[in-house]
Amino acid sequence: MNKVSVSSPSNIALIKYWGMSDAQRTLPNNASLSMTLNQCVSYCTLTPQTSGTCDELLWKTASGSLLPVQGSMRLGIEQHLQQLRQHFDDWQPLRIATVNSFPTGAGIASSASGFSALALAFALRCGQSLNSPDLSQLARLSGSGSAARSVIGGFVQWPGHHGQPGGPAKQFAPAQHWPLHDLIAVVDAGHKNISSRQGHHLAASSPFYSTRLRLLPERLDSLREAILNRDFNTLADTVEREAVEMHMIAMTSQPPIFYWQPATLQILERVRQLRHEGLQVCATVDAGPNVHVLCTPQDASAIVTALRTLPGVEQWIFDQAGDGPRQLEHHLF
Ligand code: PMV
C-alpha cells in the first residue's frame, strides 16, 4: 500500500497496569482494564520514502506545518519502528507524520494512542487488517503496555486471558453497551517529570506492592461484572479505590513519585461530593495530575456545570467511550 493513514484512540485505565515483570518485552505484573476513548486520538500517515535511505519522522503542528520529531519522542518512534520492521521483515525507509488531538506526554495516554497508531499504520502497509489479532502485541512492542489496549474499542482487558501476561488485549463490551462520558480535567498540559516507564520500574520498591498484586484479580473481576451489569455504584467505588491505590504505590516507591497536584485533589473531592448528592459520577487519574471524571450520559451536563467553576483546570476535554482505531482516507501530508 502506498500511503496509509489511521487514527488510534487513547484509553483510560480503570484497573491500572503498574509494574512489569519483563521491561524488554513489556510484560505486565497484573491484568488491567480500560475504556477506549473517542475524541483523544493520534493520527498517523505513513508512506515509503521516494528518495534517500533514512526515515523522515514528522510532527504536524497546530498551524499545519510538518516539523522533524526530536528528542525522546524520536527515540521512542525509532525503537518501535525497529521492532515492527523485524516483525514484518520490511526494511523500506519511510516518511511518517503524526499528531495528537490532545496534550502530549501529560498522562492522558498519548503514548498508547501514538504507538498504537504507528503499529496499525505499519501493519496496514504490510497487508494486515484493523481486525488482525496480532495488533495488540505489535502496539505494545513500543514499550507502552497501555498501547496494547488502544487497538480495540469499548471496554478492554489486557491481557485478555488469565495466566498469559504476554497475551493480547480483548474487548469484553463494546462502547455502545454503556456509553460513559469522560470529562478530562487538564490540570497541567506540560510533560510529566517522571515517565510511566520509571514508575513501572519503581513499583515493586513500595512495601505495599505485593498486597496490591494479591487484591487485584478479585477487583478486576468485580469491575468487569459491574460494567457488564451497568452497575454505576460498584464501578465508582472500585475505580476510585483503584486510582488512589496506584498513586499510593507510586508515592511509597523508593524514590517516591508524586503525580498529583493540589487541583487534582480538589477535583477528586468535589466529584465525591457530587456523588453523595446523587449524581452518577466518579474519577480516576493515570500517571499524571489530570483527572478523568467518568459519568453517565444523563448526568453529564449537571456535572460539567458543577465542575467548570473549579480553579486550577487549564482545559476541559469532553470525551466518551469510543469504537477504536480507524483507517482514514484523509492524510497528514
Ligand atoms: O503504558 P504505559 O507504560 O504508558 O503505562 C501506563 C500506566 C497507567 O496509565 C498509569 C496505567 C494504565 O494501565 O494505563
Q: What is the pLDDT of residues 12-25, one digit of tens each?
A: 999 999 999 999 89
What DSSP character marks residue 40? E
Q: Establish whether residue 158 lines the binding site of ligand 1, counting it when its CB lies within 6 angstroms of any ligand atom.
A: no
Contacts of 77 (CB under 8 A, 6+ apart): 57, 69, 96, 98, 118
Residues in the chain: 333
Q: Which grid coordinates are listed for 82?
A: 525497529
Domain boundary among 136, 162, 177: 177
User: Lowest-pLDDT range, 66-75, 184-193, 220-229?
Assistant: 184-193
User: Lowest-pLDDT range, 66-80, 101-115, 232-246?
Assistant: 101-115
Does residue 328 lie within any of the structural domains?
Answer: no
Q: What is the mean pLDDT of the chain?
A: 95
Q: Establish whether residue 196 lines the binding site of ligand 1, counting it when its CB lies within 6 angstroms of any ligand atom.
A: yes
Q: Is the pLDDT score of 1 beyond 70?
A: no
Number of folded domains that form the chain: 2
Domain boundary among 152, 177, 202: 177
Whether omega before 179 lies within 30 degrees of 0, making that bond cis, reads: no
| Reported confidence tier of residue 193, pLDDT bands at 50, 70, 90 | confident
Question: Is 207 in the same domain as 161?
Answer: no
pLDDT of residue 13: 98
Question: Is 295 in the same domain as 171?
Answer: no
Counting atoms of ligand 1 from 1, which one is nearest the CA of 146?
1
> CA nearest 237: which of 270, 277, 269, 283?
283
Question: Is 189 in the same domain as 172?
Answer: no
Question: Is 147 in the same domain as 239?
Answer: no
| Rounded Cα distance, 153 and 190, in Å | 27
| Separation of CA 128 from chain center | 23
| Rounded Cα distance, 267 and 198, in Å | 26
Question: Is 145 in the same domain as 76?
Answer: yes
- Helix, strand and coil percent figures for the chain, each rounded to 5: 35, 25, 40
pLDDT in tens, 28-76: 999 999 999 999 999 999 999 988 789 999 999 989 999 999 998 999 9
Domain boundary among 134, 155, 177: 177
Question: Is 36 in the same domain as 96?
Answer: yes
pTM of the model: 0.96
Counting atoms of ligand 1 from 1, which one is nearest the CA of 107?
9
Mean pLDDT of 234-241: 98
Question: For residue 241, what is the domain's CATH number?
Answer: 3.30.70.890
Q: Is the pLDDT score of 163 beyond 80?
A: no
First and final C-alpha spacing in the chain: 16
Question: Is 148 in the same domain as 187?
Answer: no
| Rounded Cα distance, 227 and 175, in Å | 11
Question: For residue 72, what is the domain's CATH number?
Answer: 3.30.230.10
The more confident residue out of 295 and 191 is: 295
Question: Is 214 in the same domain as 257?
Answer: yes
Domain containing 269 equals 181-320
Alpha carbon of 231 to those of 160, 261, 296: distances in Å?
Answer: 22, 30, 11
- The residue written with cell numbers 512495601 in the block is 207
Question: Is 191 in the same domain as 315?
Answer: yes
Question: Is 173 in the same domain as 188?
Answer: no
Could you tell which of 16, 201, 292 is best to mutate to test the pocket of ligand 1, judged by most ligand atoms within 8 Å of the CB?
16
Q: Is the pLDDT score of 191 beyond 90?
A: no
Does residue 329 lie within any of the structural domains?
Answer: no
| Rounded Cα distance, 114 and 79, in Å | 13
Q: Is the pLDDT score of 297 beyond 70?
A: yes
